[in-house]
Amino acid sequence: MTQVVSGSGCVTGGSGSVKGEAVAEPADRWLRCFVPAPQARTRVVCFPHAGGTASYFLPMGRMAAPELEIVGVQYPGRHDRRNERCVEDLLELADRIATALIVSDDGKPVALFGHSLGSVLAYEVGRRLEADGRTRPLRLFASGRRAPSENQGQKIHTLGEAAFLDHLKQLGGIDPRILREPELLRMALPAVRADYTAIESYQHPEGPVLSCPIDVLIGRSDPEVSAEGARLWGPHTTGDFAVHDFPGGHFYLAEQASGVVDLVRRNC
């Protein structure tokens, strides 16, 4: 579900380079660990969907500990970053998040998990980490999203409010409580729309693909990505590749978190 957020405008920009040169920011500006697992063998950095927050992965964090430590990425313009401007450029986000992961590297192995928009963002962060060489990801788990090279140039972010809300309702991506509260809706929509702008304006940049394995996870009734579309992630790695399907739609993760955590645990 879309989290209750408050965004107050947007900023564009970003180099789009595979090896970002973003100015280092405090890692805790970006990273949230709600269930610390200091003895975990692997840290799994999780990237939310459009409009989502780091807390979306709290259930996974509870299930995964103590073997895995789940860390959620908090995008600007929502929750405890609600007074920051949203970012409409996915490559800028990738530059800044990759830098935060590099400067906070403590030697623990890192895997990347993204859902929907977060899958493409995690992929781009992974490219930057591999190019840098200091914090190379063990694996990418890409959930609920077609391959980065298959971005279709959709313009959902340009829809009027009513049509935009209809789209979110069809995906199951907005909490019904928000729809009943105009003030909550007013706070939530800018961040969601900014995230849609970021993913819909994204074009896969030239450069090396990942060398780490990629696991693609989909809901069997997801209207956004089919099994055939999921297989198009294959050319985005020189490593192993697999597709896994689960009962449910675009937000299958809410009901299938246990099975997803088991999959991540087996591969990390």
- Positions annotated as catalytic residues are 116
Residue 267 to residue 13: CA distance in whole angstroms:
35
Is the backbone of residue 252 left (phi > 0), alpha (psi -120 to 50) or beta?
alpha
Cross-strand pairs, 113: 46, 141
- Measured from the Cβ of residue 69, the count of other Cβ atoms closer than 10 Å reads 22
Strands 31-32 and 68-73: antiparallel
Can you state the angle between helices 161-171 and 182-200, rounded to 10 degrees?
80
Of the candidates 114, 106, 127, 131, which has an alpha carbon nearest to the alpha carbon of residue 40? 106
d(CA 27, CA 98): 10
Q: Does residue 204 sit in helix, strand or coil?
A: coil
CA distances from 6 to 113, 143, 174, 175, 189 (A): 25, 25, 14, 15, 8
- Separate counts of helices (H) and strands (E) for the chain: 8, 9
CB 212 within 8 A of CB 137: yes
